[in-house]
Amino acid sequence: MLARVDKPSLQKNLGEHIIIDSVEDDKVHIIVINKLTHTLLEKRENLEYLEKILSEVLNKPITLKVSFEKKEDYF
């Protein structure tokens, strides 16, 4: 999926700072372990952009659920 992201800052931050927590039907739950990445995903435009890409990859409508956790707390 990351290969389809054509926004360099978003692609770099996602690749290094998100963890897919679970996938349930049409929802993908991700944990963000970096505050900057979380801030990027708080922007509706970025979230909708990623949902669109995931929907294309999985061939069904997808909703992203994002939660933030400090890296040191997660690991």
Query: pLDDT tens for residues 16-46?
Result: 888 889 999 899 999 999 998 899 899 999 9
Chain segment 50-65, per-residue pLDDT in tens: 999 999 998 999 999 9
Phi-psi region of 28 (alpha: psi -120 to 50; beta: other; left: phi over 0): beta
Checking if the pLDDT of 71 tops 90, the result is no
DSSP alpha helices (H): ranges in the chain?
8-17, 35-42, 44-58, 71-74
Which one, of 12, 16, 13, 20, lies nearest residue 54 by Cα? 20
Report domain extents, the chain: 2-74
Q: What's 2-74's CATH class?
A: alpha beta
**pTM for this prediction:** 0.82
Neighbours of 61 (CB within 10 A): 11
Pick the closest to residue 50 from 38, 39, 60, 62 (CA basis). Answer: 62
**Residue with more model confidence, 45 or 10:** 45
